[in-house]
Amino acid sequence: MGFGDLKTPAGLQHLNDFLADKSYIEGYVPSQADIAVFEAVSGPPPADLYHALRWYNHIKSYEKQKASLPGVKKALGKYGPAELEDNTGSGGATDSKDDDDIDLFGSDEEEESEEAKRLREERLAQYESKKSKKPAIVAKSSLLLDVKPWDDETDMAKLEECVRSIQADGLVWGSSKLVPVGYGIKKLQIQCVVEDDKVGTDMLEEQITAFGDYVQSMDVAAFNKI
């Protein structure tokens, strides 16, 4: 918000562009908003910024009624087009940030008829409630692990038991089978479903190979996203 420094030509240019299609800074009647900006402008704008000049002369005609105009005077940074940075310093960073967020859904001017504002708030509230009702979809993957023993005399049942003993939040063991590899050695193929955020394959690998007595190595044979 804000027009930049209104004492510079750039600031006045912003004011001019802002006022091209508006009669007042805020709303459709003169208010303290106009007085605030009027006082920040050091004098009548140059003639080539004719919108600003028109506004300036108009507000000047209200000089005597300055105090009785409606509204509350806010810091200068609060007026004007939303996309301009508030560099008057006194605006407060959080305020302009809020305006940016809301402006994604609506117009980027401060003035809005009460009805349009209310409608927008209503729709926003509806969107939020709908969003919160939707169950959070968790990313899951199905892994097929190959666990290889040292030799053909390794007790596969014990090996499987060890692997299944690994518990973690988001890890569910599935079915398993023994697949012969050669020379009488069988490897254990076991399925599991993991939640991507909670369990990683390196963690699994670490824990499985920790059973060094039984497990020679472990591979991820297949990794499918669910």
User: Given the complex with other proteins, which of 112 and 195 has the nearer CB atom?
Assistant: 112
> Residue 192, class by beta-carbon neighbours within 10 Å (0-12 exposed, 13-18 middle, 19+ buried)?
buried
CB of 67 to other proteins, least distance (A): 18
CB of 57 to other proteins, least distance (A): 7
CB of 24 to other proteins, least distance (A): 8
Q: What does the alpha-carbon distance between residue 102 and residue 82 come to, in Å, rounded to a whole number?
A: 10
Cα angle for residues 203, 205, 207 (degrees, 5° grid): 70
> Which of 60, 8, 16, 13 is CA-nearest to residue 34?
60
User: Given the complex with other proteins, which of 62 and 150 has the nearer CB atom?
Assistant: 62
Q: Which residues bind other proteins (CB under 8 A)?
A: 17, 20-23, 28, 50-51, 53-55, 57-58, 61-62, 107-109, 113
User: Given the complex with other proteins, which of 52 and 145 has the nearer CB atom?
Assistant: 52
User: Given the complex with other proteins, which of 109 and 205 has the nearer CB atom?
Assistant: 109
Output the CA torsion sign for 197, 201, 206, 209: positive
CB of 143 to other proteins, least distance (A): 51
